[in-house]
Chain A
Amino acid sequence: MQTVSASESRLRALFEAGLAVSSELSLDAVLQRLVEAAAELTGARYAALGVVDASGSGLERFLTHGVDAETRRAIGSLPQGRGILGVLIREAKPLRLHDLSEDPRSVGFPPGHPPMRTFLGVPILLRGVVFGNLYLTEKEGGEDFSEEDQELVTLLAGQAAVAIENARLYEAATRWSRQLESLIEVGNALATETDLERLLDLVVRRLRELLRARVVTIALPSGEHDLRFAAAAGDVRRELLGQTFSRTDSKSGRVFERRRSERVDSILDDPEVNQEVARRMGIRTGMWVPLAAHERVIGVIEIHDKEGGDGRFSDEDLRLAETFASRAAVAVDLSERVARDALRRVVQAQELERRRLARELHDETGQALTSILLGLRPLEEALAGHPARAALAELRELVVTALQDVRRLAVELRPKVLDDFGLVPAVERLAETFADQTGLRVDFRSTLPADQRLESEVETALFRVVQEGLTNVVKHAHARSVSILLTRKDDAVAAVVEDDGSGFDPAETGDGVGLVGMRERLALIGGRLEVESARGSGSTLVAEVPVR
């Protein structure tokens, strides 16, 4: 009867343990019930369950039975997987011992640990994967743990494995669900948001939440040589926004050139990272992901310091960041296209208005003044010798200068020669006029045929760049001579303006307002602008536009 009663109570304990796995929501609660059930079923004074973390190097959970809080505090740190517990993990087989201290593999107990002799340990194992171990000590009455005890505890360890795996699968599912939500949110923003600043801010904030990173930034190109922090999330936001830095002197710049993501587990050990900037930002680890759209790199995302642990990011984190980067790149590209289209419309409207004004001045105002001049002639003949003849001569002079000014204004607004004959004659005429007006020596040369016609947008853009370039020579260069060259370079047409003036340091001066305007104008038609200069060595401005 006693045996039946003992069996019944064991069955009941097992049944309740099984129920716990299916009914408890909290993994800790389930594992605690299993630990207590194991102690009750085997008559052990002490029981413990440890769950190994994902890296396999430490415990993510450690639950006990029979050790009070004061004793736990006295023991201090958690088991490190050495000694008998390490044997359990490595060999993944149950182990029963009469006396722990007599086993040669034992490393002893830390100070404050209660003495323990009899031992039963089983790995928590599921489909060959070790999740941790469940072990018991000090069976009541000083007896050794039995074969039956081992079977019971193995059964409970199996239930613990199922519970742990379920919890991990649930956590992974929740994480993917959050990531998917974020990707959907970013995708929706793509469809509706064209404001670049708001888009980038959304990307850095969401990415920082998802990756649990301390700092996330996006850097976009600034001029030919630099990058600029265009968005930032984290505790360095205010300091960074708008700051520019050199591409050659930074990890972001290297990633921008190499067009490949990189993960750095220790910032201090990477010579490509600007250590001074890293110190100011207080960063230890990082991932750099290029923003690429239509095979063109348009920026770089930087992510630093994962919260918790040693701050390192995983392969999964890098994949998520790359997915986000691909969405962000589309957004940036779209926003830039929208801005370019808007600028193109403004420039086209501006040129159209200039053309109309020039025509109005030339055809209407100019014709009216010419008519006045013609009308003055009979008056001059009629008033020959009359005192009023002097006043009439003065009037003629006024009309002549007004006519000159009107014609000059019309040419400056939109030279008719550009529309009627093309780029080469228009720039040649511009060079002659510029020389007359400024007294500077101007050499003009063209390897393009004089009657070469290009698309109107291309001719206008290059003409305006030369016009602005010459104005800049006067304003900044203190030059005595300037040369203008129009030439073909592979699949492009180039305009080169070179002066013998004082030059400047592009790194110090950067892009002035005039240069920014030229760059933007050329970028609209797929062209680019390069400026070479050095103090005391003059300057060379090269505008290149691809042509079919």
Chain B
Amino acid sequence: MRHAVVCYAVVWSEPGGPVRAGRLELDDASLRLSGASREASGDASLEVPYEALGELEIERRPPLRLGGRPTLVLTLRDGRRICLASLEGAGSLPELAERLEAVRNRTLV
């Protein structure tokens, strides 16, 4: 049985790719990103199982900021990187980082 889904309004990108604005959902098995971009045609969606998560780091330096905001950089086990910036207001990015760290650590046990 799936538990209640937590959602955030976010902007995200993969290095070199378009910046997309949309929704991050965290359910009990994976995170899902879905949204649109003015630059790229069509909606995009991306699902990452928690066991695929590697490093999680909050990045404040300019090259990795999005929309003038610090990002949470997810480095996956296959080496891919995804940068996420939360649009939910003060404190939401550290909160998101804590949630992802918790679910990632559960998969390591």
Residue ranges of A at the interface with B (Cβ–Cβ < 8 Å): 397-398, 401-402, 404-405, 408-409, 412-413, 436-441, 471-472, 474-476, 478-481, 501
Contact = CB atoms under 8 A, between A and B. Distances in A.
A479 B36 contact: yes
B62 A397 contact: yes
A478 B38 CA distance: 11
23 contacts: A397-B62, A398-B60, A401-B60, A404-B68, A408-B68, A412-B90, A413-B89, A413-B90, A437-B68, A438-B11, A438-B21, A438-B87, A439-B11, A440-B36, A440-B38, A471-B87, A474-B9, A474-B35, A475-B7, A475-B8, A475-B22, A479-B36, A480-B37
B53 interface: no
Contacts of A405: 60, 69-70
A475 B19 contact: no
Contacts of B85: 437
B55 to A, nearest CB: 20
B24 to A, nearest CB: 9
Contact of B21 (A402, A412, A439, A472): A439
A62 B74 CA distance: 90
Given A413-B90, A476-B23, 12 more contacts: A397-B62, A412-B89, A413-B89, A436-B67, A437-B66, A439-B18, A440-B38, A474-B23, A475-B9, A478-B34, A480-B38, A481-B38
A441 B38 contact: yes
B88 interface: yes
Contact of B23 (A408, A409, A475): A475
A286 B53 CA distance: 61
Contact of A478 (B39, B43, B60, B62): B43
Interface in B27-62: 34-39, 43, 60-62
B61 A397 contact: yes
A409 to B, nearest CB: 5
Contacts of B10: 474
B65 interface: yes
Nearest to B60: A401
Those 9 A-B pairs whose CB atoms lie nearest each other, nearest first: A437-B67, A438-B21, A475-B9, A474-B9, A475-B23, A471-B9, A478-B36, A474-B21, A401-B60
Chain A interface mostly: helix
Interface of B: 7-11, 18-23, 34-39, 43, 60-62, 65-70, 85, 87-90
Contact of B70 (A401, A413, A474, A501): A401
Given A405-B70, A471-B88, A474-B22, A437 B36 contact: no
A201 B33 CA distance: 46
A471 B87 CA distance: 7
Contacts of B20: 439
Nearest to A402: B60
B35 A478 contact: yes
Contacts of A475: 7-9, 22-23
A409 B36 contact: no
A474 B38 contact: no
A471 B38 CA distance: 17
B85 to A, nearest CB: 8
Contacts of A481: 38
Contacts of B62: 397, 401
A480 B42 CA distance: 10
Nearest to B45: A478
Residue in A405, A438, A479, A501 whose Cβ sees the most chain B Cβ within 10 Å: A438
A440 B87 CA distance: 13
A440 B61 CA distance: 23
A343 B18 CA distance: 42
A472 B9 CA distance: 7
A317 to B, nearest CB: 46
A408 B61 CA distance: 15
B74 to A, nearest CB: 19
Given A397-B61, A474-B21, A475-B23, A409 B38 contact: no
A100 B24 CA distance: 94
B61 A401 contact: yes
A408 B34 contact: no
Nearest to B85: A437
Contact of B68 (A413, A436, A476): A436
B9 to A, nearest CB: 4
A480 B37 CA distance: 7
Contacts of A409: 90
Contacts of A472: 9
Contacts of B22: 474-475, 478
Contacts of B70: 401, 405
Contact of B69 (A437, A439, A440, A471): A437
A397 B70 CA distance: 13
A340 to B, nearest CB: 25
A478 B88 CA distance: 17
Residue in A397, A398, A404, A409 whose Cβ sees the most chain B Cβ within 10 Å: A404
